[in-house]
Amino acid sequence: MPFRYGSLRTEPKEHSVRFLLIVFLLLTLPVFAQSKEGVVPINGGHDFVYVKPVNRIFPAARPAAGMVTIFSNLGKGNNVYNGAAGTGVLGKNVPNQPYPEWVANGFTPAANYTVMEIQVGVSWVEGITNAVILSLNEDNGGKPGKALFTTDFTTLPDFGTCCTLQTATLIKGVPVTQGTQYWVVLRTSPNNQGTWDVWNNNFADMQGPFSNSTGHGWNKQSTQELGAFAVFGQ
């Protein structure tokens, strides 16, 4: 697994210091060709930063009433997630990017629940199809295993905005067990290999179980910065 730096935030507080940090990293890290204005790959093309001001006018959706929070790293107000940094979710035919990538973030329930909703902060950079596939998966030895639920989202917000959330509703619910790890997975469709999305980092820089696939199966779990997501249930 390549080394991955933490979140790079271009937020209002200490703006000049963070801007200088971004400039330093861009000058010292290998950078692949830039496809879309303002979006810059770092960490060998695994992660992306948006170097223009983030548009924060979009409100976040709230979970349904009566839901219990099983896991959440989502923030509040205009800082629900980091609109300026995240991990790539890419098909294998994205121009100027070195490889495809699917991403999984893990969580462990503190009690037995039934998952009824999942929210993620995911945005779109480019590609003919503006979409992403989400699944809730079992653990398989520190990697995502069998999918327990799958859905897809279309018309994602542009990378560099905040704070639109995609909400998956699990009509029948999926039981999860206390102390057992599960995975929230984002991937592109096999039929849309030119899609380039970004799973936005959580705003608090929370670390946790991370796995990814760059076209050769899932890598065994490491601890890295998580994408923004929340799991709700009953």
Which domain CATH number covers 106?
Answer: 2.60.120
Pairwise CA distance, residues 130 & 115, whole Å:
26
Dihedral sign, Cα of residue 164, residue 170, residue 171, residue 175:
negative
On whether residue 136 sits in a domain, the answer given is yes
Q: Does residue 76 form part of some domain? A: yes
Task: Pick the closest to residue 5 from 36, 32, 26, 34 (CA basis).
Answer: 26
What is the number of domains present in the chain? Answer: 1
For residue 15, being part of any structural domain is answered with no
Residue 175 lies in a domain: yes
Answer for the pair 118, 230: CB distance below 8 angstroms, yes or no: yes
Q: Tens digits of per-residue pLDDT, 44-62?
A: 889 999 999 999 999 999 9
Range of the domain at 97: 52-233
The verdict on residue 192 lying in a domain is: yes
Give the single-character DSSP code of 158.
B
**157 found inside a domain:** yes
In tens, the pLDDT along 173-191 reads 999 999 999 999 999 998 8
83 within some domain: yes
Cβ-proximal residues to 188 (8 Å cutoff; 6+ apart), any chain = 89, 90, 91, 100, 102, 131, 132, 133, 195, 197
- Quote the percentage of the chain above a pLDDT of 90: 78
pTM of the model: 0.85
Residue 44 lies in a domain: no
* Cβ atoms 118, 195 nearer than 8 A: no
